[in-house]
Amino acid sequence: MGKLIKKTNGRIKQAVGGLTGDKELKRAGEKEEREGRVEGAVADVKHAAKGAVKDAKHAFKEVSK
């Protein structure tokens, strides 16, 4: 859930920075949005790895019978 919050906060900072001309705030928003995207990608990889391990364990049990 934190990844979604970071992405959203980043987008808000970018918008406010763009409207106010605050380049530093806009860059901070871009960075925060990227961090949220990376966290999301890492979470997706972890989820896929856990699923692969579970499938491998199941397959091993079937072969061992």
Domain boundaries, the chain: 2-64
Residue linked to tokens 């990844």? 3
- Averaged pLDDT for residues 44-52: 94
Place of tokens 């061992």: 64
Average of pLDDT values for 44-64?
89
Confidence band (pLDDT; 50, 70, 90) for 3?
confident
The b/e string for 46-64 (b: 16+ C-beta within 10 A; e otherwise) is eeeeeeeeeeeeeeeeeee
Residue found under tokens 């364990």: 57
Query: The pTM is what?
Result: 0.74
- Distance, CA of 54 to CA of 60 (rounded, Å): 10
